[in-house]
Amino acid sequence: MPKKIRLGILGGGGDSLIGVLHRVASFINDNYEIVGAVFNPNHEDSLAFAREIDIPTNRIYKDFDTLVEEELKLPEDERIQVCSIQTPNFLHFPMAKKLLENGFHVICEKPMTMNYEEAKILQETHKKSGKVFALTHTYTGYPMVRQMREMIKAGELGKIHKVDARYYQGWINPIIHDKEKRSSVWRLDPKKAGISSCMGDIGVHAFNMVEYTTGLKVRSLLCDFNYLYEDNQMDVDGTVLIRMGDHVKGVIRSSQVATGEENGLAIAIYGEKGGLRWEQENPNFLYRLSDTEPIQVYKPGHAYNSELSLEGTKLPPGHPEGIFDAMANIYKGAAKAIRGEKYNDGEFPTMEDGLRGMNFIENTVASHKKGNVWVNMD
């Protein structure tokens, strides 16, 4: 009998986007229940946020160490089983390490650590712990990305010889071109953000996709960064030549100054027998290319997909998964109304819409049956 997993949250309070994303994701498949948290360094803020999202406040702790200490006092079948780390980057390593050492499973936002040295230490801790460690390279959760992996694994492209991944955003553009802003924002301060901005934040996703989909490892790389200004020390753009084996070459391109690009992650893989292309902004379309056959467009949920891909779809073909959010918006509007809050006209369909609909359906039948004549709506 499945029982919801007891989840603890570290960070992700208030308006945090990453907080929303993790919380929603934890609900979607009925697997997790949030039982404890440190949403915010300020305990009052943490408690307020817990009340806002209606989570019991008795296990909202004042800090991370207290959370670990207090949870360990609880009987094992009440204790937090897994913590989701959504804090600023420099806390990922110490938190993950302590959690694993104390027998908790860990779900961790990327970057996993501040540097490779820490990563190797954490790997050791993890090995000893026997616990689950999941890193949220979110894009590998897309059904069609999983389908790419499985098709390549099954040899459908033959030997891979060429790889091209891109992650282009433009959001740092208004900051980088403003001398004032670029010298003050924490993202461009190596002391706060680590050794890399663009490559560390998004290039690494493209890198992960390349290894995830091909099953190959990058053996060596050559990189060129662009800092754009002499007084800036952090990469806001970078291109990486990669080699993944004998005569298997490729390129990873990432940018935060690709003006107007939003979240332009894309990947193309070419092998002896075929090619595959996928773009994050149209995640339900996977293009399979061939020398001799028409292009094939794979979409989620069809029986022709692999088990791994089908594992990641909940709805029938043609429903972009965003439909959950469309439906959630209807529920949100209804919630406002139920609570007696102000809401905009158009936030959810009403009785009136139902009435119109039934009138419409009946009239279509009447028009048709009478020999395709005009019928007036009420």
30 lies in the site for a copy of itself, by CB under 8 A: yes
Give the Cβ contact number of residue 277 at 10 Å: 17
Exposed / middle / buried, residue 345 (Cβ in 10 Å: 0-12, 13-18, 19+): exposed
154 lies in the site for a copy of itself, by CB under 8 A: no
Q: Which of 39, 61, 133, 278 binds a copy of itself (CB under 8 A)?
A: 133
Site for a copy of itself in 264-303 (CB under 8 A): 264, 268, 270-275, 280-284, 288-299, 302-303
Site for a copy of itself in 181-210 (CB under 8 A): 194-196, 199-200, 203-204, 207-208
Q: How far is the CB of 176 from a copy of itself (least distance, A)?
A: 9
Q: Residues 6 or more apart from 241 whose CB is under 8 A from it?
A: 221, 222, 223, 249, 250, 251
Q: How far is the CB of 184 from a copy of itself (least distance, A)?
A: 19
Q: How far is the CB of 76 from a copy of itself (least distance, A)?
A: 14
Site for a copy of itself in 230-249 (CB under 8 A): 235, 237-241, 243, 247, 249
Give the Cβ contact number of residue 95 at 10 Å: 23
Q: Which of 112, 151, 165, 193 binds a copy of itself (CB under 8 A)?
A: 112
Q: Which amino acid belongs to residue 136? A: T
Tell me whether strands 237-245 and 286-289 are parallel, antiparallel or unpaired: unpaired
Q: Which of 128, 179, 181, 368 binds a copy of itself (CB under 8 A)?
A: 368
> Which among 78, 96, 79 is positioned nearest to 87, based on CA atoms?
96
107 lies in the site for a copy of itself, by CB under 8 A: yes
Candidates 57-65, 66-74, 180-188, 251-259; binding stretch for a copy of itself (CB under 8 A): 251-259
What is the rounded distance in angstroms from the CA atom of residue 243 to the CA atom of residue 364? 62
Exposed / middle / buried, residue 147 (Cβ in 10 Å: 0-12, 13-18, 19+): buried
Q: How far is the CB of 114 from a copy of itself (least distance, A)?
A: 8
102 lies in the site for a copy of itself, by CB under 8 A: no
Q: How far is the CB of 229 from a copy of itself (least distance, A)?
A: 7
Q: How far is the CB of 70 from a copy of itself (least distance, A)?
A: 21
What is the rounded distance in angstroms from the CA atom of residue 189 to the CA atom of residue 196? 9
Candidates 56-64, 69-77, 179-187, 363-371; binding stretch for a copy of itself (CB under 8 A): 363-371
91 lies in the site for a copy of itself, by CB under 8 A: no
| 312, two tokens | 């990641």
**How many residues belong to the site for a copy of itself (CB under 8 A)?**
196
318 lies in the site for a copy of itself, by CB under 8 A: yes
Site for a copy of itself in 50-89 (CB under 8 A): 51-54, 81-82
Q: Residues 6 or more apart from 5 whose CB is under 8 A from it?
A: 31, 32, 33, 81, 82
Q: Where are the alpha helices (DSSP H) in 39-165?
A: 43-52, 64-73, 92-101, 116-129, 143-153
321 lies in the site for a copy of itself, by CB under 8 A: yes
**Secondary structure (3-state) at 228:** coil
Candidates 57-65, 66-74, 132-140, 181-189; binding stretch for a copy of itself (CB under 8 A): 132-140
Q: How far is the CB of 12 from a copy of itself (least distance, A)?
A: 12
Q: Residues 6 or more apart from 46 whose CB is under 8 A from it?
A: 13, 37, 38, 39, 40, 60, 61, 62
